[in-house]
Amino acid sequence: MTHKEYLLSLDFGTGAGRCYLVSTDGKISFESYKEWEYEYPPEAQPGGSEFNPGVFWKILSCLIQETLHKSGISPSSIIAISSTSQREGVVFLNKSGEEIYAGPNLDMRYPDNKDDFEKRFAEKIHKNCGHWPFPMFLPYRLLWFKQNKPKIFDAISSVVLLNNWILYRLCGVTATEPSNGIETLFVNLNSRKWNNHLVEEMGIDSRILPPVYESGTQIGVVTTVAAEETGLAVGTPVILGGADSQCGLLGSGVIEDGGMGVVLGTYGPLQMVVPNPVFAKPELIWSGCHIIPDKWVIESTSMEAGQTYRWVRDVFYSEDTGDVYTKMSHDALESPIGANQIRAYLGPRLPNYHHLEFECPGGFTIKLPTTPGRNSRGDFSRAAIEAVSFGVKLNADRLQKAANRKMVSLHASGGLSKSPVMVEALSNVLETVVRVPEQKEGSAIGAAICAGVGVGIYSNMSEGVKALVRYGKIQSPEIERVHQYQDVFYDWKERYVEMYGKNILVE
């Protein structure tokens, strides 16, 4: 029997951690997953959230051990490790390498002089990185600590994004890469390097920022301490991965110009690959760096996706056991297009990046009278899925307009892409072929590809895609269902405009 080699990736998601193990030929894979929750320190309210790095590292270490146990392979069969994570989340390290703050992308704390900061720097930041600043980004947290906890601020020796904090825990080396580095607002979109002048102008010491290398670069090896904690082999190469959305693109096979991918995880970001940096009106899109060195992305997000579906699970299926999501999908399949007149407004929408709002009106609309037996919980499941597909359509249209090009493909990954109802709705609402990889966790696959490139098992990212990305489902639109969904979409959008204002659709 031929000895197989494996790649391991770790995914620090907003709602959960994941360990993914795959053979280099893509034929065998194992994964483990655990949901987690954050802390909300009273002194950082409103908006502040943190996590305990020791506790979260223990969870990730246990996931590695669990995955190794499931696979039955020797740790020495793993030839490289990489990581991916939610964007905007960061960890502060002191000179001793200890974590003195750890916060997710949900941490919205900001200093008292927020308005003055934005008046002075917002346009400079947008010209630098293609993002309009908002409190979830790093400068706001740094300046909050400078104002409210100066001892912690003065003790910061290094700032690492969450995917790179995982690698730091494994190999003891701090580094970053452009796809997630740009989410600090400090990386320049054109050069893909730190804009140290802008950092210093904000009153922040640029020396706290680690070196920037391209994804797929080896930065170290698993240390003895990390090996004891995780069960991994000492000396296993540790490779830079990237941001979850861009890793999701890569892990779905989206590497060509005009390719579009949606990661249907906790949120629903859409990205389109473009050959050059694109700067648009700040309220419309984000611009960013792809995992591939000579590619960029533009992005808009339909906001809540999996988080919406998880909420429906907790409310309508709280007493169910087993594979609840499969049950929800089956129930949604039993409900007709239009969910028996139920419309969901649970988050999917067009964002305004100039004034990004995370709290807004929401709920369901139901056609009266509410006669007994008329609606089932499957209708609510379908309505939530349809709302996600409508949010994706709004944002896909926005990206194509900003790029001045049509999308050449749509690839879906993330947990919600496991639902056949979700994939069917996407295909018919957007009137396009939707490709879904066999392995639905595209971000973890993308990080595994980075790991393989880092040790030379794949000569480039494209070769890694050929090895690891296989499509489990290719859904084509059906003209009759397209027309049915169009009617529901226009009805949904009419109420959407009533709820959020007509100007939100004007670009």
Average pLDDT along the chain: 93
Average pLDDT over residues 165-172: 99
- Lowest model confidence (mean pLDDT) among 361-365, 473-477, 489-493: 361-365
Burial of 96 (0-12, 13-18, 19+ CB in 10 A): exposed
Predicted pLDDT of residue 256? 93
Q: 286 in helix, strand or coil?
A: strand
Q: Which helix (H) or strand (E) holds 91?
A: strand 90-93
Residue pair 139/204 in contact (Cβ under 8 Å)? The answer is yes
The token pair that represents 387 in the structure block: 């709302």
- Going by C-alpha positions, the residue among 9, 64, 442, 59 that lies closest to residue 241 is 9
Q: Which helix (H) or strand (E) holds 56?
A: helix 53-71
Q: What is the pTM of this model?
A: 0.85
Residue pair 252/412 in contact (Cβ under 8 Å)? The answer is yes
Average pLDDT over residues 185-191: 98
324-334 helix and 377-403 helix, angle to the nearest 10 degrees: 90
Predicted pLDDT of residue 20? 97
Q: How far apart are CA 160 and CA 103, in angstroms?
A: 11
Q: How far apart are CA 364 and CA 345, in angstroms?
A: 6
Q: 237 in helix, strand or coil?
A: strand
The token pair that represents 31 in the structure block: 């994964």
- Indicate whether 502 pLDDT > 70: no
- Name the one residue in this structure whose structure tokens are 């309220």: 283
Task: Give bridge partners of residue 297 from the DSSP assignment.
Answer: 273, 288
Helices then strands, counting H and E runs in the chain, come out as 16, 19
Task: Give bridge partners of residue 296 from the DSSP assignment.
Answer: 274, 289
Predicted pLDDT of residue 379? 96
List Cβ neighbours of 335 (8 Å cut-off, separation of 6 or more): 376, 378, 379, 381, 382
Question: 79 vs 134, which has greater pLDDT?
Answer: 79
pLDDT tens, residue by residue, 118-128: 999 999 999 99
- Indicate whether 167 pLDDT > 70: yes
Domain 250-411+484-502, classified CATH 3.30.420.40, yes or no: yes
Indicate if the alpha-carbon torsion angle 218, 219, 224, 226 is positive or negative: negative
| Phi and psi at residue 143, to the nearest 5° | -70, -30
Interstrand relation of 242-243 and 78-85 (parallel, antiparallel or unpaired): parallel
- Going by C-alpha positions, the residue among 342, 485, 503 that lies closest to residue 425 is 485
Predicted pLDDT of residue 506? 47
pLDDT tens, residue by residue, 69-109: 999 999 999 999 999 999 999 999 999 999 999 999 999 99
Best-predicted range by mean pLDDT (375-379, 439-443, 456-460)? 456-460
What SS3 string covers 102-133?
EECCCCCCCCCCHHHHHHHHHHHHHHHHCCCC
Ranges of beta strands (E only) in 280-405 are: 286-289, 296-304, 343-345, 363-365
Residue 1's pLDDT band, with cuts at 50, 70 and 90, is: very low
Residue 2's pLDDT band, with cuts at 50, 70 and 90, is: low
Q: Residue 242's CB: how many other CB atoms inside 10 A?
A: 36
Best-predicted range by mean pLDDT (1-15, 263-277, 395-409, 457-471)? 457-471
Give me the residue spans of the domains in the chain.
6-240, 250-411+484-502
- Indicate whether 480 pLDDT > 60: yes
- Lowest model confidence (mean pLDDT) among 50-54, 374-378, 473-477: 374-378
pLDDT tens, residue by residue, 203-262: 999 999 999 999 999 999 999 999 999 999 999 999 999 999 899 899 999 999 999 999
Predicted pLDDT of residue 264? 87
pLDDT tens, residue by residue, 388-419: 999 999 999 999 999 999 998 899 988 898 89
% the chain with pLDDT above 70: 96
Q: Residue 11's CB: how many other CB atoms inside 10 A?
A: 31
Predicted pLDDT of residue 357? 60
Average pLDDT over residues 40-55: 96
Q: Which CATH architecture has domain 6-240?
A: 2-Layer Sandwich (3.30)
Q: How far apart are CA 215 and CA 198, in angstroms?
A: 24
- Name the one residue in this structure whose structure tokens are 């908002």: 134
Asked if 6-240 and 250-411+484-502 have one fold, the answer is yes
DSSP assignment string, 382-397: HHHHHHHHHHHHHHHH
